[in-house]
Amino acid sequence: MTTHWITCPMCGQVFDPAAHAACQSCPINKGCQLVCCPACGFETVDPSQSRLVRWAGRVFARSSIQESALAGEKHFNGTSLVDVPPGSRARVVGFLAGLSHERKAHLQSYGLTPGTWVRVVQHSPVTVIQVEQLELALESDLARQVQVTG
Amino acid sequence: MPCHSTVETGSISGGIIALVGHPNVGKSVIFQRLTGQRVAISNYPGTTVEVARGMARSLPDIMLVDTPGVITFPPHSDDERVTAHVLLDEPLKAILQVGDAKNLRRTLLLTVQLAEMGLPLVLALNMMDEAGARGVVVDSDRLKDTLGLAVIPTTAVRGQGMDDLSRAILSAPAPHFSLEYPLKIEQYLTALVPCLPEAPISRRALALLWLSADAVTGTWLNERLAPADFQGLFQEREQLQRSIGDPLSAVIQQARLDFVEQVAGAATLQPGTVRPRLADRLSRLTTHPVWGLFILAGVLYSLYWFVGVFGAGILVNLLEKGFFGSLINPWMVFWMQRLVPFPFVQDFLVGPYGLWTMGATYAFALILPVVTTFFLAFGVMEDSGYLPRLAVLSNHLFKSLGLNGKAVLPMVLGLGCVTMATLTTRVLESKRERLLVTLLLALAVPCSAQLGVVMGMLAGISFQATLIWGGVVLLVLFGVGWLAARLIPGERTSLLVELPPLRWPMASNVLTKTLARLEWYLKEVVPLFLFGAALMFALDKTGLLAWLIQASQPLITGWLGLPPQASAAFLMGFLRRDFGATGLFVMESQGLLNHVQAVVAIVTITLFIPCIASVMMIAKERSWRTAIGMMAFIFPFALLVGGLLNRLLLALGWTL
């Protein structure tokens, strides 16, 4: 597994959580998901270790935008709209062949054409994107048909 | 080949001008600004789509037609098809396109197609205020020069640019620019254009619509050409299609997109920023998986309060019991009995099933307040832009019923009035979805009139009884919905919906729409009530009513296990299920029903068809075959569920 970095919510120090697991001497250290910031000692959670925290992060969009901003474009190597993390931008490349011509024309008439930059707002409950100044909600099976690059 | 249209600067006086544009770009506001109060809204001939017409205030003898918003053109939905009909069939003098200044590419894609039609064209670049707030700057002079048409920046809600717009309409030139399609298409167009009949729009535009396989154009040509000629056109199109490979409409669309990209790129001085404003933050929250649900709950509760409690409760009480029950009706009965010498005619007018005492009283005292409050609330939701967000939040729930989130609207409205909700199934995309929702509405969504009676009865029994009633109805809703989605052929349409910015609704616009819709209600729905009353009167007088009550007794006593008196209540339920419920309520208060019987009877009556007016509405919106088919399914099915519940409750020995 490649090292990933987290930001201390207290002082803003960026560090590798694997190298700074909390208190080795603590009796309940095993399974403990807390990590200590090397700069200020603040105990925080490594989001990659806790399912619940990741889920909460996804549900509450604000934190997921921060997360994705941190994760940056590095983690984003998907090829369709559903792979674009919320808060990121992507450029439309084309549509998969499975998309009916009618639906394709529908998407195009909203301005979703090759070369256009779109901004993904959220994926749950459905995918919401911004094209120019227009917001569009589309179900994931449709979003999957739209091919994009980062 | 150069563009077919010619450059001409004429002055327009008299005639019809069509307003065309995407949904939510302020078309109806501009329409209202230009026409004032002199507006008539009617269904477009042969369809159920509303079209508004009005004489322009400051333009001599010009009638404006406000067409339904188009998302795609060539059209895909019923609404869009009406716009195509207006363009092909009305003797138009000019077209006024209303476009969104902040979404220039999308606007221009439509402009290009309208410009090809060769009619004088004016582009109102509307919502300049919203564009400005987002930092979008468009060079409208540049657009004007490139496209050779009048481009007027407007902010319709504040009345800005309206005078310029009126002036531009009077002296609008036909646009001059040429959009070249790929060579093979151009060659075909050159050959085809002379063979086409004369149309209000240019033949080149007509030919392009034909190539894009537009159904409206196809029908239009078929009506005007000899069968052999039409067949020839068809074969030539097939031939061209084979030689090009990609769908023709896609090739044409791509050429337009490329052109628009060029023009829009050059005319956009600043693309705008994504700095979120307060409205954007609020908009974010309305589609948020958690906060969105809280907002949804608040909105639904306000809707329920305004339509269900205030409209269906307080206002109906005032009108039905107060105004009609103790003032108008006794007065009418008194005078009718004095003035009309024949008892038969007296009964027909003011008897228990009289045109006035039943038909008109229902239409004006029971339903009018409900639809008025409903139209008002609906207008506010429509204009604020909240409706599509509702679809986003509920999409998941409706997926299991083979529907998408857009179905939420008719279903929620059904809790107010099923007849009105059946009408709003128009917002759904496919025939299949409209059919599914209509069925579920007629079967398992109790309307507010009935809900009141049912809740009153259940509250008198026990909480457990309420749970059983709710459980069975929900089970039927999802069970039948799930099954019907698999039995009715066709595919589910995935949700694809535009989320317009949240806006403050304009009071005058909401009121105008409400008034226009009320006029429709008075003209088209009230006669249904009168017909229903006349039908009941005929059944009663011919003795059929008594016979039916007699004949249905074995079913009521044997299968449902109810006392014989209940059959009269159920028969009334055929006409209006809340009347059936009221009949049961009276029986329960007389001690004729025990708890099990009461629950069985309420469940059965809830599953009945709402009322005779809703049957008429189903027949009008779908077809008589559909309406009869639904009745043939729903009544036996409701009785089946009631009987099964009766046996289940007895077998479990529950006394509730």
CATH number at residue A135: 2.30.30.90
Chain-wide mean pLDDT for chain B? 85
Instruction: Give A69's pLDDT tier (boundaries 50, 70, 90).
Output: very low
Judged by CB atoms closer than 8 Å, whether chains meet at B274 and A130 is answered as yes
Q: Do both A62 and A47 map to the same domain?
A: yes
Q: What is the ipTM of this complex?
A: 0.74
- The partner residues of A136 in beta bridges, in order of sequence, read A129, B498
Q: How much is the pTM?
A: 0.73
Residue B134 contacts A where some CB pair is shorter than 8 Å: yes
Q: Do both B133 and B239 map to the same domain?
A: no
Where is the domain boundary, B506, B534, B562? B534
Judged by CB atoms closer than 8 Å, whether chains meet at A119 and B72 is answered as no
Looking at residue A66, its pLDDT comes to 41
Nearest to B109 among A109, A119, A134 (CB): A109
Whose CA is closest to B127, among B258, B252, B1, B23? B23
Mean pLDDT of B243-271: 86
Nearest to A60 among B72, B290, B500 (CB): B290
For chains A and B, CB pairs below 8 A equal: 114
Residue B537 above 70 pLDDT?
yes
Q: Give the pLDDT confidence of A8-59 residue by residue, as tens digits.
A: 777 777 777 777 666 666 766 666 777 777 777 777 777 766 777 777 766 6
Nearest to A137 among B105, B253, B287 (CB): B287
Instruction: Give B356's pLDDT tier (boundaries 50, 70, 90).
Output: confident
| Angle at which helices B526-541 and B544-551 cross, to 10° | 80
* Dihedral-angle region of residue B372 (phi above 0 means left; psi in -120 to 50 means alpha; beta otherwise): alpha
Whose CA is closest to B142, among B234, B265, B55? B265
DSSP secondary-structure letter at A17? G
Instruction: Classify residue B6: in a domain, yes or no.
Output: no
Residue B289 contacts A where some CB pair is shorter than 8 Å: yes
Q: Do both B529 and B424 map to the same domain?
A: yes
DSSP secondary-structure letter at A93? E
Q: Do both B430 and B357 map to the same domain?
A: yes
CB B536 within 8 A of CB B352: no
Q: Do both B509 and B557 map to the same domain?
A: no
Distance from CA of A78 to the nearest CA of B (A): 22
Judged by CB atoms closer than 8 Å, whether chains meet at B393 and A122 is answered as no
Instruction: Classify residue A1: in a domain, yes or no.
Output: no
Q: Do both A102 and A145 map to the same domain?
A: yes
∠ CA B271-B276-B279, nearest 5°, is 115
Which residues in chain B have Cβ-Cβ distances shorter than 8 Å to A134? Answer: 100, 103, 106, 498
Which residues in chain A have Cβ-Cβ distances shorter than 8 Å to B100? Answer: 133-134
Q: Give the pLDDT confidence of B114-141 residue by residue, as tens digits.
A: 999 989 999 999 999 888 888 889 999 9
Give residue B596's domain range: 537-652
Q: State how many domains chain B has.
A: 4
Q: Do both B306 and B423 map to the same domain?
A: yes
Looking at residue B387, its pLDDT comes to 84
Q: Do both B523 and B621 map to the same domain?
A: no
Distance from CA of A99 to the nearest CA of B (A): 11
Which residues in chain A have Cβ-Cβ distances shorter than 8 Å to B403? Answer: none
DSSP secondary-structure letter at B173? B
Instruction: Classify residue A55: in a domain, yes or no.
Output: yes
Give residue A132's domain range: 81-149
Judged by CB atoms closer than 8 Å, whether chains meet at B72 and A109 is answered as yes
Residue B634 contacts A where some CB pair is shorter than 8 Å: no
Distance from CA of B547 to the nearest CA of A (A): 54
More confident residue, B422 or B50: B422
Q: Do both A93 and A54 map to the same domain?
A: no
Looking at residue B7, its pLDDT comes to 38
Peptide bond into A125 cis (omega under 30): yes
Instruction: Classify residue A39: in a domain, yes or no.
Output: yes
Helix ranges (H only) for B355-462 are: 361, 368-384, 387-399, 408-414, 418-423, 431-444, 448-461
The number of CA neighbours under 13 Å toward the Cβ of A98 is 7
Whose CA is closest to A103, among A143, A48, A63, A67? A143
Who contacts A16 (Cβ-Cβ below 8 Å, separation ≥6)? A3, A4, A5
Q: How far apart are CA B248 and CA B237, in angstroms?
A: 9
Which residues in chain A have Cβ-Cβ distances shorter than 8 Å to B72? Answer: 105-106, 109
DSSP strands (E only) in B27-88? 39-43, 50-55, 62-66
Residue numbers of B between 77 and 116 with CB closer than 8 Å to A: 100, 102-106, 109
Whose CA is closest to B409, among B380, B436, B370, B437? B437
Distances (CA, A) of B577 to A101, A111, B582: 45, 48, 9
Looking at residue B300, its pLDDT comes to 80
Whose CA is closest to B188, among B223, B250, B233, B247? B233
Q: State how many domains chain A has.
A: 2
Distances (CA, A) of B170 to B59, B161, B231: 7, 15, 41
Nearest to B494 among A104, A119, A141 (CB): A141
Judged by CB atoms closer than 8 Å, whether chains meet at A109 and B395 is answered as no
Judged by CB atoms closer than 8 Å, whether chains meet at B496 and A61 is answered as no
Q: Do both B412 and B507 map to the same domain?
A: yes
CB B34 within 8 A of CB B57: yes
Distance from CA of B288 to the nearest CA of A (A): 7
B224 membership: H or E segment, kind and range:
helix B215-224
CB B67 within 8 A of CB B55: no
In chain B, which residue's Cα lies nearest the Cα of A115?
Answer: B261
Q: Do both B580 and B438 map to the same domain?
A: no
Distance from CA of B505 to the nearest CA of A (A): 19
Q: Do both B375 and B500 map to the same domain?
A: yes
Residue A67 above 60 pLDDT?
no
N-terminal to C-terminal alpha carbon distance within chain A: 23
Chain A positions touching chain B (beta carbons under 8 Å):
59-61, 101-111, 113, 115-116, 119, 121-122, 124-126, 128, 130-139, 141-142
Judged by CB atoms closer than 8 Å, whether chains meet at B495 and A133 is answered as no
Q: Do both B55 and B142 map to the same domain?
A: yes
Whose CA is closest to B425, among B224, B231, B175, B617? B617
More confident residue, B375 or B154: B154
Q: How far apart are CA B493 and CA B481, in angstroms?
A: 16
DSSP strands (E only) in B10-103? 15-21, 39-43, 50-55, 62-66, 92-100
Where is the domain boundary, A75, A104, A136? A75
Which residues in chain A have Cβ-Cβ distances shorter than 8 Å to B136? Answer: 133
Which residues in chain B have Cβ-Cβ distances shorter than 8 Å to A110? Answer: 71, 106, 498
Instruction: Classify residue B166: in a domain, yes or no.
Output: yes
CATH number at residue B252: 1.10.287
Q: Give the pLDDT confidence of B360-394 residue by residue, as tens digits.
A: 887 788 778 877 887 888 888 888 888 889 889 99
Q: Do both A144 and A85 map to the same domain?
A: yes
Nearest to B498 among A103, A108, A135 (CB): A135
Whose CA is closest to B606, among B418, B400, B408, B394? B418
Distance from CA of A3 to the nearest CA of B (A): 31
Instruction: Give B26's pLDDT tier (boundaries 50, 70, 90).
Output: confident
Instruction: Classify residue B410: in a domain, yes or no.
Output: yes
Which residues in chain A have Cβ-Cβ distances shorter than 8 Å to B494? Answer: 138-139, 141-142
More confident residue, A27 or B61: B61
Q: Do both B336 and B392 map to the same domain?
A: yes
In chain A, which residue's Cα lies nearest the Cα of B105?
Answer: A111
Residue A123 above 50 pLDDT?
yes
Q: Do both A21 and A62 map to the same domain?
A: yes
Residue numbers of B between 37 and 76 with CB closer than 8 Å to A: 71-73, 76
Nearest to B497 among A121, A133, A137 (CB): A137
Judged by CB atoms closer than 8 Å, whether chains meet at B287 and A128 is answered as yes
Q: How far apart are CA B129 and CA B154, in angstroms?
A: 8
Residue B543 contacts A where some CB pair is shorter than 8 Å: no
Q: Do both B557 and B412 map to the same domain?
A: no
How is residue A56 written in tokens? Answer: 């909460």
CB B150 within 8 A of CB B173: yes
